[in-house]
Structure 1
Amino acid sequence: MSNIYESAEATLGLCNSSCLTKVELRVACRGISDRDALSKPDPCVVLKMQSHGQWFEVDRTEVIRSSINPVFSKVFLVDFYFEEVQRLRYELHDISSAHNGLRDTDFLGAMECTLGQIVSQRKLSKALLKQGNTTSKSSITVTSEELSGNDDYVELSFSARKLDDKVTMCLCVCVCVCFGAQIPPDFKVSHDFAVNFDEDNPECPGIQGVVEAYQGCLPKIQLYGPTNIAPIIQKVASSASEEMHTMEAMEYFILLILTDGVITDMADTREAIVHASHLPMSVIIVGVGNADFSDMQMLDGDDGILRSPKGEPVLRDIVQFVPFKDFKHASPAALAKSVLAEVPNQVVDYYNAKGIHPKCLSDYDESTRPFSP
């Protein structure tokens, strides 16, 4: 059974997206009910993963004889994909000495969760559910450990929470408002104003804070073209430049731009992107609507090296363009996967080039950093 996970990859479609890191999962159970008064159970845990609404077996533990509190030595090695919701199911079975298969076993309960929950909590304990979803007195505990052999691993934390062996992400969200509008009180045109109108403190608490600031801003301004995005790229680049000069650059800036129009300052935008390619920064552009976004593909750089008007090439590819219309009938997860597809490599490329390695948990505090509109 040790190679079941390998054979399940094709069925589950696990090879269709870039793996972020490998995770070791260990399982233990407590208080397993004695179904047979004359003997204790012989427990075994089966790990399943959901794909297209169906559960497929990934692997299973060894059978521990006569135990109501088993700690299994079997280690599940799974691939963790940051852009996927990987649903797991742990089934506990009582396998008698006469049978090693599952067909004739006693089902003792199951626990469902996501791999992301286990990775984020590191240790997840839940009660087992029996047939009919009735809660049993038995519990199962799963602990996770990310393999340290992958030095290129960086987890994206868009709450910007500082995690061990990770770098901090600062997400700056820009919609058509904050780079193309006439703003009060004099209604001059601005391409890089704060949606909350507080230039000294433009940050908002979380995604909901960004949404609320946008809703409060929209009735107070007048949308105005043209669509110039070079100013907002330069503004975020200024913050990224200050961080780079700390010689640690443990904050990496991701500028997310939502726009419904073709940009009109292409030369300045190319210049700004070339400059930003030297900084701890990435730019994600989501084109909304049916406008001609062909120029955006050039900024993406997938078809060639982007250059400034003076001919200077980007140091590294930092731009990802995604047309929203391609995902109108797709799941939100598919859109998120495409939007974030290039960010991990962009982050790793920057820190590798600078020779900067992730710090450990003791080097961080538990503070959080809000989102910046």
Structure 2
Amino acid sequence: MSDPEMGWVPEPPAMTLGASRVELRVSCHGLLDRDTLTKPHPCVLLKLYSDEQWVEIVSQTKVTKPLLLKNGKTAGKSTITIVAEEVSGTNDYVQLTFRAHKLDNKDLFSKSDPFMEIYKTNGDQSDQLVWRTEVVKNNLNPNWEPFRLSLHSLCSCDVHRPLKFLVYDYDSSGKHDFIGEFTSTFQEMQEGTANPGQEMQWDCINPKYRDKKKNYKSSGTVVLAQCTVEKVHTFLDYIMGGCQISFTVAIDFTASNGDPRSSQSLHCLSPRQPNHYLQALRAVGGICQDYDSDKRFPAFGFGARIPPNFEVSHDFAINFDPENPECEEISGVIASYRRCLPQIQLYGPTNVAPIINRVAGPAQREQSTGQATKYSVLLVLTDGVVSDMAETRAAIVHASRLPMSIIIVGVGNADFSDMRLLDGDDGPLRCPRGVPAARDIVQFVPFRDFKDAAPSALAKCVLAEVPRQVVEYYASQGISPGAPRPCTPATTPSPSP
């Protein structure tokens, strides 16, 4: 048993949309002793070989293999066992508070230093540690700190799964003295604390004392003072509940991109290879349109002189229809981009605030509905330094309080330090007046890091934070997903006669 003050149990990462999450439990037996004076401190490094091998390890629920030395020979009788269990059910969290009364004293010159461990019983009847409380020093009536963990971590979302509670007296040597134990289930814990102020109590039993002592009753009692379930919604819950992700595209047409007639221009329309703007549009837009039910994208340009008067605009529709800037699918955005480019003059400056504020308008109207029906995502493709940095910071801080996210893809080899500042990964973004953003809504990705990678790699990185941002916004507003929509079977169009 390891030191209970070392911290414990990181929560599993959020599940990727459309994927199954699998929990792996690893145990080893008969390991070789590599230390001369102390016992070994083993760790396990799991590697996944991407496409060709090593994938079958989770195709079985339990795999035991011998451990090999570097020379290929077996490491004595050492074995490693990996148990796989698919994570299913809910993402709910539970808040628990325990205390104890009149625990047995295990120390000669002071009182016990109790802590408690909670185990769940797995399908193979093995016990898995899911939580360890802090140590309460010199106290036979400890009040342990409240703690929060996912229902999956506690009982694999099975309210009938047996739970085992063990209480120990802490010893710095690691040889902790056993005080007692009891068992329960999460269903029993919920039922026992269902009413306001209701608590549940168990006798803490030491089987050795129970079997040997005639008048033995218990080694103390443990009380569950709080058991509350917190409903945690997922990105998938909101999507299935009817929330639409509305994508808007904004393209940088400033002169720093270079003359489109030059092969060195970032806007060069070469018949041999799509430019970086087109590559980014296809990679990211192809994924984005799967979240958008009508697959119609408002698409704007900024930093160019546009016909008929060739005045500089920072939020013009690239289809030149200001009343209806939407394009049919990403292919429509690409077609409008190709038609637009020869008709405009690349100019400047790189002002981003106007397009952010334009998208923030519908997002603000959506916010007033108090429902999770439409979340706006602005995709900005740009080549360089922002000219209106103060205004852009203010626009982002304002948008951070709306159902809205901003994705910035940096095209070319310019200095993108301003973009990294907007990303907010190094601390909360603040407007010039010092007001901080309510949440991090900007994701910046330099295209040059992905130009030789598969398009899916860019899309995955660009969209990595959107699910979290969607959930974070609606949770902060106390807005739950709508009722899941019934699935309608896809229909195949009849061939024309």
TM-score band by shorter chain is 0.5 to 0.7
2:314 aligned with 1:191: yes
Q: The residue matched to 1:175 in structure 2 has which SS?
A: strand
Corresponding residue for 2:16? 20
2:416 aligned with 1:293: yes
2:50 aligned with 1:51: yes
Q: The residue matched to 2:426 in structure 1 has which SS?
A: coil
Structure 1 residues 342 and 362, CA, compared in 2 at 3 Å: closer, same or farther?
closer
**Deviation string for 1:343-373 (max 9, x for gaps)?**
111111100011111112449999xxxxxxx
Return the alpha-carbon distance in structure 2 between the equivalents of residues 364 and 333 of structure 1. Answer: 27
Return the alpha-carbon distance in structure 1 between the equivalents of residues 487 and 402 of structure 2. Answer: 22
The 5 Å alignment of 1:153-168 reads 153-155=234-236, 163-165=239-241, 167-168=243-244
Question: How many residues were matched structurally?
Answer: 243
Q: The residue matched to 2:435 in structure 1 has which SS?
A: coil
Q: Deviation of residue 219 (structure 1)? A: 1.1
Q: Deviation of residue 167 (structure 1)? A: 1.9
8 Å Cα contact 1:289/1:324 also seen in 2: yes
Task: Give the counterpart of 2:386 among 259, 263, 271.
Answer: 263
8 Å Cα contact 2:371/2:479 also seen in 1: yes
2:249 aligned with 1:173: yes
| Code of the aligned partner of 2:251 | V
Q: Deviation of residue 306 (structure 1)? A: 0.7
2:413 aligned with 1:279: no
| Code of the aligned partner of 1:59 | S
| Code of the aligned partner of 1:152 | H
Task: Give the counterpart of 2:86 among 77, 93, 100.
Answer: 77
| Code of the aligned partner of 1:213 | S
Greater CA deviation, 224-233 or 176-185? Answer: 176-185
Task: Give the counterpart of 2:465 among 338, 342, 353.
Answer: 342
TM-score norm. by structure 2 comes to 0.45
8 Å Cα contact 1:322/1:338 also seen in 2: yes
8 Å Cα contact 2:235/2:468 also seen in 1: no
Corresponding residue for 1:245? 368
Q: Deviation of residue 171 (structure 1)? A: 0.7
Return the alpha-carbon distance in structure 2 between the equivalents of residues 56 and 307 of structure 1. Answer: 45
2:366 aligned with 1:357: no
Q: The residue matched to 2:245 in structure 1 has which SS?
A: strand
Corresponding residue for 2:357? 234
Return the alpha-carbon distance in structure 1 between the equivalents of residues 308 and 394 of structure 2. Answer: 31
Corresponding residue for 1:136? none
Gaps of 5+ in 1: 1-14, 26-48, 62-74, 80-148, 157-161, 367-373
Aligned Cα RMSD in Å? 3.2
Return the alpha-carbon distance in structure 1 between the equivalents of residues 485 and 430 of structure 2. Answer: 41
The 5 Å alignment of 1:24-103 reads 51-54=50-53, 56-57=55-56, 58-60=58-60, 77=86
Return the alpha-carbon distance in structure 1 between the equivalents of residues 314 and 444 of structure 2. Answer: 20
8 Å Cα contact 1:59/1:76 also seen in 2: no
Corresponding residue for 2:452? 329
Corresponding residue for 1:311? 434
8 Å Cα contact 2:379/2:407 also seen in 1: yes
8 Å Cα contact 1:287/1:324 also seen in 2: yes
Aligned-residue sequence identity (percent) comes to 55
**Deviation string for 1:287-341 (max 9, x for gaps)?**
1111111011110000011100011110001001111111222222221121112
TM-score norm. by structure 1 comes to 0.59
8 Å Cα contact 2:372/2:482 also seen in 1: no
**Deviation string for 1:145-174 (max 9, x for gaps)?**
xxxx98432149xxxxx9523521001111
Structure 1 residues 205 and 151, CA, compared in 2 at 3 Å: closer, same or farther?
farther
Structure 1 residues 363 and 316, CA, compared in 2 at 3 Å: closer, same or farther?
farther
Q: The residue matched to 2:235 in structure 1 has which SS?
A: coil
